[in-house]
Structure 1
């Protein structure tokens, strides 16, 4: 990967994140690489070769959403938080940049979910949840015209392979290796004993029908509401997100054990 311009995006709410980002900018400029720094709330999809997201998983998810549909590589740097998606911590930033500049880094393409008739896409998951007023809803999930789930409860999470270790996992969903081409449908606190998570082919088109008012969340951010009788359609997005992985980085299961115990 040739580095000509790098954009550092940091979470201004994370202590020390801006200083880490500026340290990366200084490293780039000392080597003749154009570099800029910006807080994530003012981040725009500029023409860059690499985006370095300094903060936590939320910073990386929002950077990826802003970049979409451009598959600009993202290097995640976590600031002592969970950082499951990150490639390194703050101390490892310079080493990671050196690996990228030397052509020793790897790129992983990760599928995204598209909300049909909306600009929203998700790297981790889309959740349909009860509204803030009642925290309860009633939903049905349909695939190819067939009802596959129907239950009252707190909601449902539809996760990508990468997002299967996030919200869906806490709802009883299975661990799914990111290279497995599957979607996870995980009910959230269903009020039915027989309701279980589903594993579906990655290219499955999924419809979630609200029978009681609900809210829609994409990668942890609210994007809208569903009235009773309204539907949300989800499908595989046409573009992916490229994440940078560096030599010697922890493997998937090691990261799971270290981050989640």
Structure 2
């Protein structure tokens, strides 16, 4: 039976009685098979598994995107129980931001590239909420999907910079059979858009250059934010209608 804890105070008093290693999977809910992979890995490597579900308003630069973010509590709870999750941390905004977001965590280099360039303030919101979650949950290991590669890299850097006592564990991107990276946002695609969406992965893997991949997507009707190579990875963000999709592959 999974325990649901709704405030930092409630969670911390539960946490005091926990012995052994704690694997933590932070999410915004609307869980899918990609999240399940994170839970399975956490279950395999730890004595106790904690999942958090919190749709974090401070990382949304577009209020409409926040309003439309899917909420699927019953399915999320079922997935947690199926994977032997001991506790779900399920707070509200007031609980997580008693200071009304006066204090925040910022990174001023890598966060300005890629998504940071197109979503002002997004990574401040991500890093701030993840720092808060780590302080409440006190995990041994925390699990993040490589689909959000930039986010994962920034969180890893934050943990190292602030001497936080936990390990960040990357988990490879989980894809649909047609190659589309699994994402909670995929549920908002129309049937026609869903048919087109796998072209992101296809263009990233089959193009000789980032420019060629971007051109292919534009010709198919995507509105491209960026396709860029950094180090040994190719990153992309593109919109179909009002749904923004991101992906990255090793090159």
Pick the structure with more strand per residue. Answer: 1
TM-score, normalisation: structure 2? 0.23
Pick the structure with more helix per residue. Answer: 2
- Which has more radius of gyration? 1
TM-score, normalisation: structure 1? 0.23
